[in-house]
Chain A
Amino acid sequence: MDMTVSTHVQEGEALDVGDFLLWILVWSELAAFGILLVAFMVAGIVQADQFAAARVHLNVPLAALNTAVLLTSGWQAARAARPGATRGQARGALVVAALFGLLFVAIKLFEYSGEIGHAGDEAYGVFFELYFLLTGFHLLHVAFGALVLLLVSWRTSRANVILITTLWHVFDLIWIVMFPLVYLV
Chain B
Amino acid sequence: MADGSSRRLARSWLILLALTGASVLAVRFGGAAGGTAFVLGLSMLKVRLVILDFMGLRGQAAMSRALLGWCLVLALGGAAKAIAVVMSAG
Using a CB–CB distance below 8 Å, which chain A residues touch chain B? 16-18, 23, 30, 34, 37-38, 41-42, 44-45, 48, 60-61, 64, 67-68, 71-72, 74-75, 77-79, 81-84, 162, 165-166, 169, 172-173, 176-177, 179-181, 184-185
Return A91 CB to nearest CB of chain B, in Å: 16
A77 to B56, CA, bound (A): 12
What is the interface residue range for chain B against chain A?
Answer: 35 or more
Q: Is the interface of B mostly helix, strand, loop or mixed?
A: helix
Contact B20 A181 (CB under 8 A): no
A45 to B83, CA, bound (A): 10
Minimal Cβ-Cβ distance residue in B for A80: B2
Minimal Cβ-Cβ distance residue in B for A166: B55
| Contact partner, A179, options B17, B43, B88, Cβ 8 Å | B43
Contact A173 B47 (CB under 8 A): yes
Known contacts A78-B53, A79-B6: does B17 contact A184 (CB below 8 Å)? no
| Contact partner, A180, options B67, B78, B85, Cβ 8 Å | B78
| Contact partner, A17, options B10, B36, B55, B73, Cβ 8 Å | B55
Query: Which residues on A sit within 8 Å (CB–CB) of B84?
Result: 45
Return B52 CB to nearest CB of chain A, in Å: 11
Query: Which residues on B sit within 8 Å (CB–CB) of A83?
Result: 1, 3
Contact B63 A71 (CB under 8 A): no
A179 to B47, CA, bound (A): 12
Contact A177 B50 (CB under 8 A): no
